[in-house]
Copies of this chain bind each other. A is one copy, B any other.
Amino acid sequence: MANLKQIAAELSLSVTTVSRALKDGPEVQPSTIARVKEAAKRVGYLPNHHGRALKTGRTQTLTAVLPMETRDHLSDLLKLPLIEGMTLAARQAGYSLSIYSTTPDDDPVESVQRQLQARSADGLVITRLVSADPRVKLLLDKRMPFVAFGRTDMDIAYPYVDVDNEQIAYEATRRLMDKGCRRIALQLLVPEDQASAMRLSGYGRAMAEAGIPIDPSLIGHGMFTMESSAGWFDRLLASSDPPTGLACANELGLLGALHALGKRGLTPGRDVHIVTRDSTRLARFLPAKIGVHSVDMAGVGRKLIEVLESRIINPLGPVETVLVQGRFEPAE
């Protein structure tokens, strides 16, 4: 409703001067700036987002592309603190955050293409990277500021924030070994997923150090729902040589595994040792002996926005990369 023209008319100034005064332009007399700001406050002026965006080409919005693992909205719970961390940080930096959820039916590359063409965001957050993720090259080519949550194994420099999945998986495996486990099961998401690859790598490193050969049948893929985790772990428990330790992919994987254990009357921490990621602090509240490590996902969200923002401000600056460590609960 209130716009520059109205303020200008009221103060007998030009629109240009009002615009400049509101951003403390050096070409405007201090007394005029004060008058303009007072009037702007009085009429409740807020700059029109679209007028500004049209003129400057910058939109003051960021878009996060977040994949849903399944069609029926059973997503990894750590997304919630991630979203909340991102929106708060974005707001603080003067941006608004748009969420673009994609289903497994959506092509990830096409989703990014859409965002590129619509150019309605100043920057993009992409997640769930795969080993040779074509989106990275695409966004770099098109010079669209972005930050990745996750890494690729490509030999290109690009800004990312990632969790040190390799180290986390290594430590998780070591913890299970400390409990005496030698047959250790590992939950992963999709094999192409870089985070899963890193976790497998950390798992492999710990196993190699201990001189334990890796049994592929103990490694489960597609563990993003409680159902798949429960079914998979149930089959493992029924095998002739069941695992004595388990490293879960996330809270959902944990709950599925607990379900399978409960069905068989087994007790976690006694019959099978379990370590899980727990960014929602859910696992540590369960009345069961479970080793937990957590990653501050809200912090990751904030960091993502920070990196993205500095990328937007200075697209040619140094490429920031952040590697976030997990925090393990002290072993009892």
Contacts and interface: CB of A to CB of B under 8 A. Distances in A.
A106 B210 CA distance: 52
A80 interface: yes
Interface stretch (A5-13, A93-101, A172-180): A93-101
Interface in A112-131: 117-120
A103 interface: yes
A255 interface: yes
Contact of A287 (B83, B119, B261): B261
A141 interface: no
A118 B49 contact: yes
Nearest to A263: B287
A294 to B, nearest CB: 12
Interface string A254-290: 0110110111000000000000000011100111100
Contacts of A263: 287
A74 to B, nearest CB: 7
A65 to B, nearest CB: 10
A255 B282 contact: yes
Contact of A298 (B61, B73, B226): B73
Contacts of A230: 285
Interface stretch (A50-58, A160-168, A235-243, A321-329): A50-58
A49 B261 CA distance: 53
Interface string A76-108: 010111011101100100001111110100000
Contacts of A259: 285-287
Contact of A73 (B63, B81, B100, B226): B81
A59 interface: yes
A215 interface: no
Given A51-B54, A258-B286, 18 more contacts: A46-B118, A49-B120, A50-B54, A63-B96, A68-B84, A73-B297, A75-B80, A80-B80, A80-B83, A96-B100, A99-B99, A230-B285, A255-B282, A255-B286, A259-B286, A259-B287, A262-B286, A263-B287
